[in-house]
Amino acid sequence: MSFRIEDLGDSDNSHKINGWNWRPTLELIRFFDVIDEERLEMMGYNATGVTVTEEEAVEIGFRLLALLSSRMSEGDRVGLDLKLTNAPDDGAFHRDDLAKNYGASYDWLTTFAEFCMSCKGFEVS
């Protein structure tokens, strides 16, 4: 499953992200306490059209950039439990422990933070 994150001010400015990276990203947003729980829940399903305001997006971007600069390095990933690891994704599907399949990469979080800082709000579809 993948998600499309589209700038409300520029439909050409969008990102497609898989669920393995998106779910931990949502957990970070939940931790930041910027978006209400109802919208966060809906953002976990594609094609719902949930929107995030420009102000909320900037706050998410600001907090992500702070996390990236203070606690993460190139090659790190954040899991569903918000724990950091520098172990590379082995590409295997872990049936016995599904949480091992999730990891928001440093590169994705950097891209998303920059997007949040420059967009006019965004829609998740």
Count of structural domains, the chain:
1
Closest CA to 26 of 97, 87, 9, 48: 48
Question: Residue 12's domain spans which residues?
Answer: 2-124
What does the pLDDT look like over 66-108, one tens digit per residue?
A: 999 999 989 899 999 999 878 777 777 777 776 777 799 999 9
pLDDT in tens, 7-32: 999 999 999 999 989 999 999 999 99
pTM: 0.91
Interatomic CA distance for residues 9 and 52, integer angstroms: 12
Distance CA 88, CA 97 (A): 17
